[in-house]
Amino acid sequence: MRLGGKVAVVTGAAQGLGRACADCMAAAGAKIVVSDVNADAGHEAAQAIRESGGDAHFIACDVGDKAQVDGLFASAVDLYGRVDSAVANAGIVNFSDFLELAEEDFDRVLRVNLKGVFLTGQAAARQMVRQGDGGTIINMSSINAVVAIPNIVPYVTAKGGVNQLTRAMALALADKGIRVNAIGPGSIMTEMLKSVAHDKEAMHKVLARTPMGRAGEPHEIGNIAVFLASDDSSYMTGEVVYADGGRLALNYTVPVRD
C-alpha cells in the first residue's frame, strides 16, 4: 500500500476535505490521527475509518493554540510512535462586505487558516527532525490564494499566505528530508457547496467558471494528499497542486452544459 506503515496527522478532519484526506490516506495504509475542534464529528470520523478496516484515533485540537498543537503531536507519538505526514487542513471562513469586515473576524480567520498552518507545520517538522528520517507536510490552500472573492477577504488573504508559507517551509526543511507542498482546490462538493447545490442559478455560476463542467468531489482532493504523502512525489517540494477543473486557466466563462 502506498502509505503502508506511515502515520499521518490530519487537522480539520471531522468533515469536508480534511475527512476526505483522512479517509483516502487510511485506505492507502496510513495510521490516522483525526484532529478537529468538533469532538463528536471527529470521533465519528475516526470510528468510520476503523469500521472500514483502518487504524485511527481522534484528538481534539484548536490549531490556533500552540500548546494544543504541540500536545496533538505529542499524543500522536504516544499513540503510534512517530509522525510521517501532517495535513494542515483546518480552516474557517467569514462572509462580510469589505467595508463592514470587523477586525476580530479578520483576526479569527487568520488565526486558524494561517497561524494554524504555521503551528501545525512547525510541530510536525520538529517531530520529523527528531526522528531523523524525513517526512511530508501538506498544507491546504485554495485557488482563492490566486483569484480573489471580495466578500471573504480574510480567507483569501490567509490562503495567499499559505502559499508563501509552503514555499518558505519547503526551503527551510529541504536539507532535513522533509518535503512541504500544498493543495489548492477549486469548487469541491463539500458541505458548503452542497448547501447551495439546490439553487440552480448559484450552481450555474459555479459551473460557468469551471471548464470541466462539474464540481470536484472531496476524494479527488484526498487522493492528491495520498500522492503528496507518498514516495510517488519524492522529488516535489514547495509546490502548490491546483485541482480546480481548469478554473485558473480560464480567461472567459463557458456555457453551462445542462
**Tens digit of pLDDT for each residue in 70-127?**
999 999 999 999 999 999 999 999 999 999 999 999 999 999 999 999 999 999 999 9
Q: Is residue 65 part of a domain?
A: yes
Q: Answer yes or no: is 33 within a domain.
A: yes
Picking from 190, 201, 195, 186, the residue whose alpha carbon sits closest to that of residue 256 is 201
Task: Identify the three-state secondary structure at position 187.
Answer: coil
**How would you classify the pairing of strands 240-243 and 55-60?**
unpaired
Q: Which domain does 93 fall in, by range?
A: 7-189+217-249
Residue 242: band (very low, low, confident or very high) from pLDDT cuts 50, 70, 90: very high
Residue 255: inside a domain, yes or no?
Answer: no
pLDDT of residue 258: 63
- 61 is a domain residue: yes
Q: Give the tens place of pLDDT for each residue, 131-150.
A: 999 999 999 999 999 999 99
pLDDT at 72: 98
Active site residues: 155
In a domain, 105, yes or no: yes
Reported as a pLDDT band with limits 50, 70 and 90, residue 257 is low
pLDDT per position as a tens digit, 216-239: 999 999 999 999 999 999 999 999
User: 35: pLDDT confidence band, cut at 50, 70 and 90?
Assistant: very high
Range 70-75 contact pairs with CB under 8 angstroms and sequence separation of 24 or more: 70/123, 72/9, 72/11, 72/33, 72/35, 72/123, 73/9, 73/123, 73/124, 73/126, 73/127, 75/33
Q: What is the pLDDT of residue 145?
A: 98
Domain annotation covers residue 121: yes
Q: What is the pLDDT of residue 251?
A: 82
Percent of the chain, pLDDT > 90?
89
Supply the CATH number for residue 90's domain: 3.40.50.720
CB 185 within 8 A of CB 142: yes
Overall domain count for the chain: 1
Q: Do the Cβ atoms of 89 and 17 come closer than 8 Å?
A: yes
Q: What is the pLDDT of residue 202?
A: 83
Query: Does the structure show a pLDDT above 80 at 158?
Result: yes
- Please report whether residue 243 resides in a domain: yes
Q: What is the pTM of this model?
A: 0.95
Three-class SS state of 245:
coil
Residue 254, domain member (yes or no) = no
Coil, strand or helix: which one is 130?
A: helix
pLDDT given for residue 149 in this prediction: 92
pLDDT of 256 reads 63
